[in-house]
C-alpha cells in the first residue's frame, strides 16, 4: 500500500474538552512508524549498510504489527520494497506513505499518538519540530504529523502554551502510561544551548504534559549521555519497562565522562516518586565501551531499545556488555523475545532504534476527521 499526500490545506482547529493519555510503549500497537533512510549526510561515508539495518528492524516488527514506512517518492518506495523482499519481509504487513522528509528520525518528527479516556479513540498530538534547535533542515519533517492525520483520517491536536506552539521531541520523554513522565533538565530547561521553548520553566512543561499527554507527575533527571547531539534526550539513558520500574544506563568506569552524569541521575531516581506516591524501582543497565568514529564520541546506549508487539529490539555494539544488556532486558520483558540489532553503523547517525521508530497504539471506538486544540 502506498499513500501520497498532496494537500496543503490546514484543517481549522477547535476546542474539545477530553482526557488524553499517552500510552506506555509496551501496550498493544496498531502499527509502528519508521522513515526509510535517504539522507546520506546522516551517515557520512557509512550509508551503504543502513537500509539493510532498517530492513532487519522492519522484519522483526512486522511479525506482530503493521509497519508504516515514510518514503520520499515512488522510486524510494521501490528501492525499499526490493530490499525488504530480499530478506523475506511480508509486504502485506507494510504500508508506504509518500511523505517527503528532511531526516529519518521518526521518534522526534513523526506522529505522536494519545488515546481518549472517554471513547478509546486515538489522536495525534502535534508538537512543533525544529530539528532539535540545531539544524536548518526541518520544514518537511514538521509537516509529517499533519499528513499522517489526514491519511489516517484521525484527529490532530495542535499543542500550544502561552499562545505559541510547543516544541517537543518524542525522544525527550518517556511515559509509564499511568501518569508519570521522564525527561531531562538538559534537554528542556537549558536556556542557552539548543533552546526549544524560550522562557519555559519546569512548571510550563508540566502543564503541557498534563494537558496534552495526561501526565500528572514529572520526574526530572539531570543530563543526557556523552555524544548525544539532541542535548539530553532521556531515551538514551532511562526508560520505563513497566508502570513502576525503569532501567537506567550506568557507567562504572570512573574515568568515563558518563560516570558522573549517570550517577547523578541514579541519585535523583532514589528520591523520585511515581504518580501514586510510590518509589521508582530502578534496574541498572550497563553501557557499552565508548564507540568513537573519526574522533567523535557517539551516543551508544542499550537504553535506546524499542518495544514492539512481537519483540523488544535492542541496539548492540560488538561489545561484551551486549549479552549482559540483552539478559537484563530479557528478564524484564518475559512476554516477548528480546532481539539484538547490530547498531555500530546505525549509531554513526547519532541515534539508534528508539530514535527511528514511533508507536501507534490500538484504539477502540473511532472518532475521525477532526482537529482539536490543546491551549492554555
**Enclosing H/E stretch for 35:** strand 29-35
With 70 as the cut, is the pLDDT of residue 374 above it? no
Number of domains in the chain: 1
74-86 and 50-61 helices, crossing angle to 10°: 70
**How many Å apart are CA 350 and CA 352, to the nearest integer?**
7
Mean pLDDT of 359-371: 63
Q: What is the pLDDT of residue 1?
A: 53
Residue with cell 550517577: 263
Give Cβ neighbours of residue 132 (< 8 Å, ≥ 6 apart).
108, 169, 194, 229, 230, 231
Is residue 355 annotated as part of the catalytic site, yes or no?
yes
With 60 as the cut, is the pLDDT of residue 134 above it? yes
Q: Write the CATH number for 28.
A: 3.75.10.10
Q: What is the pLDDT of residue 364?
A: 62
The pLDDT tens digits of the residues spanning 141-190 come to: 999 999 999 999 999 999 999 999 999 999 999 999 999 999 999 999 99
**How many Å apart are CA 14 and CA 157, to the nearest integer?**
9
Letter string b/e over residues 359-372, b meaning 16 or more CB atoms within 10 A of that residue's CB: bbbebeeebeebbb
Q: Please tell me what DSSP assigns to residue 255.
A: T
Q: What range defines the domain where residue 35 resides?
A: 2-373
The pLDDT tens digits of the residues spanning 267-320 come to: 999 999 999 999 999 999 999 999 999 999 999 999 999 999 999 999 999 999
**How many Å apart are CA 142 and CA 145, to the nearest integer?**
7
Mean pLDDT of the chain: 93
- Say which of 187, 238, 279, 355 is annotated catalytic: 355
Q: What sign does the CA torsion over 172, 174, 177, 179 have?
A: negative
Query: Residue 190 is placed in which grid cell?
Result: 537549558
Q: At 363, is the pLDDT very low, low, confident or very high (cuts 50, 70, 90)?
A: confident
Amino acid at each position: 500500500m502506498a499513500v501520497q499526500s498532496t494537500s496543503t490545506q490546514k484543517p481549522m482547529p477547535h476546542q474539545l474538552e477530553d482526557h488524553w493519555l499517552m500510552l506506555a510503549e509496551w501496550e498493544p500497537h496498531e502499527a509502528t512508524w519508521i522513515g526509510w533512510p535517504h539522507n546520506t549526510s546522516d551517515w557520512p561515508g557509512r550509508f551503504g549498510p543502513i537500509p539493510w539495518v532498517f530492513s532487519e528492524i522492519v522484519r522483526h516488527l512486522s511479525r506482530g504489527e503493521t509497519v508504516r514506512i515514510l518514503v520520499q517518492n515512488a522510486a524510494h518506495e521501490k528501492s525499499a520494497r526490493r530490499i525488504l523482499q530480499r530478506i523475506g519481509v511480508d509486504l502485506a504487513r507494510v504500508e508506504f506513505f509518500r511523505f517527503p522528509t528532511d531526516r529519518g528520525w521518526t521518534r522526534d518528527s513523526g506522529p505522536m499518538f494519545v488515546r481518549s479516556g472517554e471513547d478509546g479513540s486515538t489522536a495525534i498530538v502535534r508538537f512543533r519540530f525544529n530539528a532539535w534547535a540545531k539544524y536548518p533542515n526541518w520544514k518537511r519533517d514538521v509537516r509529517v504529523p499533519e499528513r499522517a492525520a489526514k491519511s489516517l483520517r484521525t484527529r490532530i491536536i495542535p499543542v500550544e502554551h502561552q499562545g505559541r506552539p510547543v516544541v517537543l521531541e518524542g525522544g525527550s520523554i518517556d511515559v509509564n502510561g499511568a501518569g508519570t513522565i521522564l525527561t531531562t533538565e538538559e534537554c528542556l530547561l537549558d536556556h542557552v544551548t539548543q533552546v526549544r521553548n524560550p522562557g519555559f520553566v519546569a512548571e510550563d512543561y508540566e502543564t503541557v504534559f498534563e494537558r496534552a499527554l495526561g501526565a500528572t507527575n514529572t520526574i526530572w533527571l539531570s543530563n543526557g549521555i556523552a555524544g548525544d547531539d539532541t542535548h539530553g534526550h532521556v531515551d538514551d539513558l532511562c526508560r520505563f519497562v513497566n508502570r513502576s520500574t525503569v532501567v537506567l544506563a550506568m557507567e562504572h568506569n570512573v574515568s568515563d565522562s558518563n560516570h558522573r552524569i549517570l550517577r547523578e541521575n541514579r541519585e535523583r531516581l532514589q528520591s523520585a516518586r511515581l504518580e501514586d506516591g510510590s518509589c521508582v524501582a530502578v534496574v541498572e543497565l550497563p553501557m557499552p565501551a565508548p564507540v568513537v568514529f573519526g574522533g567523535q564520541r557517539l551516543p551508544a546506549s542499550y537504553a535506546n531499545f524499542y518495544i514492539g508487539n512481537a519483540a523488544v529490539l535492542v541496539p548492540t555494539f560488538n561489545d561484551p556488555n551486549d549479552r549482559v544488556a540483552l539478559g537484563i532486558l530479557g528478564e524484564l520483558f518475559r512476554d516477548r523475545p528480546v532481539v539484538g540489532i547490530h547498531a555500530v553503523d546505525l549509531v554513526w547517525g547519532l541515534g539508534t532504534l528508539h530514535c527511528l521508530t514511533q508507536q501507534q497504539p490500538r484504539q477502540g471506538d473511532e472518532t475521525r476527521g477532526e482537529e482539536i486544540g490543546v491551549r492554555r
